[in-house]
Chain A
Amino acid sequence: MTRLRRILAELRDAILQAAFSLVSHKLRALLTISGIAIGIMTVILIFMVESGMSASFARQLSTLGPNTLFVHKWKWGVSGNDWWKYKNRPHVNMLDLRALQQNTTLPVAIAPLVNTQATVSHGGKDVKGVDVRGTTDGYLDATGWQIRRGRFITALDQEIGANACIIGADIEDAFFKGQEPLGQQVRVGPNMRCDIVGIFARKGNAFGQTQDLRVVLPLSSFIRTFGSKRGLVVAVVAPEGKVRETEDEVTAVMRNARHLAPDQEENFSVNRQDKLLEGFEQMMKATNITGILVGIITAIVAGIGIMNILLVSVKERTREIGIRRAVGARRATILWQFLCEAVMVALVGGAVGIALAAGAASIIDLISPLPARVDPRVMLGGVIGSAVLGVGFGLWPALTAAMLQPVEALRYE
């Protein structure tokens, strides 16, 4: 009881002293705090961008199986030098799709895919960053997705460009708590209204990202609303163990459809998922390393600032240390007192950094279609990180203070 009272009283005292010490050196504290804040903000933003990229990547991957081939204008996993070559190729279009559907024999399923991020609304409520896809009736077979209630898109929907859509479980939760969604309407993008004809079974998360925040439309309706300049990706599912043969067949059919002479280079790519993964992982690694490097540099710069603040503070308060020791403060008391100051600077810096990052994220959220926000776990990490930084760099100055001999400290001018 006495011990606890002593600790509480000492802690209160330490916090007061630390706050006073910071306030009485505003400029110095401000510099260090803004250093920490900018560093923490940068690190948080880097990781936010990274998780944004993995989110969109996860959306693409979530439909893929290992036997699926993707006919696309781009060669996946390629970056840099060859960019112009791929950029100038023609998009994969409806004619290519038809050729594949009619002239291939091996594939188990064929489905075109095109997607965008858009806002979906219902009854005055908006959900941003929804993965909106256009496809045809082959989609379920090609992806293994399942319908929980209602039906999927039919060939007829595709033919007439019906305003019909299938919604993911997150959309259902957002708009229709305890109501029947089937037969209701949602607005997709700026000006398309469509009837909900089916609901997907909940899929859960992939790569830490929800897969249920989506709306699927007939391809023809999608193109009508969002335009056709994106081009298609055609997913072709090969039978088990026949990926290679299927790839050859698809390539031949595509060459034929594009009227390529035997000596001409292909102007399309048949992609496999593993290629994509490779390229993506490389990119993520680079981003990660950048984030970590920035983090380390920030930590060192901020840490030196903290250490400087503390060393000056110990010098200025040497006599005070002597007085406290003379009336019964133990070494640990002095140690805590200075650590408290270090942690306080670091935490204020961390909090400001998190606030700045959250502010930047909400601006990005406002002006771009991408949903951007700072994960609460990242915030917690920022807080813990800055506290650790404070303790780490404050420890040495605080120890020098604690190790001072009472007489020496009292004699200090």
Chain B
Amino acid sequence: MTDYLLRGGRVVDPAGGQDRRADVLVSGGVVTAVGERLGGSGATVLDCTGAVVAPGLVDLHAHLREPGREDEETIATGSAAAAAGGYTALCAMPNTDPVADNAAVVEKVWALGAQVGLVDVVPAGALTRGRRGEEMADLGEMARCAAGVRLFTDDGAALSDSLLARRVMEYLVAFDAIYAEHCEDEALVAGGHMHEGERSVALGLAGRPSEAEFLIAARDIALARLTRCRLHLLHVSAAETVELVRRAKAEGLRVTAEATPHHLALTDAALASYDTNAKVNPPLRTERDRAALVAGVADGTIDAIATDHAPHALQEKESEFTLAPAGIVGLETALSLTLTTLVAPGLLTLRDALERLSTAPARILGLEGHGGPIEPGRPANLTVFDPAATWVVEPQRLHSRSVNTPFAGWELSGVVRHTLLRGRPTVRDGELVTEVMV
């Protein structure tokens, strides 16, 4: 196995508490030395001049669409997109076809991810069979199988039945697993297409009110208190939800939360011309909500920035707004959006950005080898990016099989130069290393 010397970069490592100029020597898939002017005879030099060397990014929330919608994304293309975006691990959502509600499906996803080998694909399992919200999925079997599922969710919709939600939470305690919720009350959002407010009324689109989110979030926090289950709130979008999480944490509950780059960067103003690429659930909300999310990410109330990468077929997104599916691809823009919209204007330090994009999600998922610290003996899961370099988002040039991004044409700061998964470059000098089977 080739040794690599990452030379001339700035190591920013939230878990190890480092931010310094240092070279990183990688040998046999692990970090063997971190320090100034390292020798490393025989090692291949990866130029990191002017770049940040960080722990590989970890995404808590990605839809890879396989099995079922391989026309939109596959584990191979999604992994390629992830590596290109600087990720070394991601949590694959279970709303596939068939649904990942049993050990066979999650093991298959896990094995396919390992076979592609561009990123650690960590499958999430469904809470209920078929995501129908009627009976428990094979929770224990998924937790105990080779894939070792740690996060369970019916993402796409909330679990409506409060009693079943309680029972699932109680049961998951046995495995110290996470109950993760897409917080939107089904009845309150039925038929809705965007945030309910002045803009939805003006555009003549039925709304999905913030209340739909924070009512479910409040219920789940109450149930987490009752059951002592770990709770993770997916893609928080409303100011009130941020406040609920803040209070739950102050109380000492085991509640974590994530926000997406699109909710941190955009508001419902993005829908003014019925751009279906900005249609997403939960919906883009108001500037007040966006500001509260940013503040929540900055003060740690929101633990992680997660993509909710949701590829959709072009012909489905290019239809009438009310018929178009909701979702945004995010794996290749998350880092740059975070740097451009949060770090550059001084809303978030670079260290905290990397904590939210890598260290915290790795900790939540219990991924030992990810999220840093960047220290001798640790698996070399690393991302090297040039924070000052800019690029323009051209959807057709992304590695994802789908192009549904509202950021087309945006100029973003932050270009991934190298990504290393256990010491092996998956991206080198900005190019994906392994030609994936597409």
**A and B interact:** no
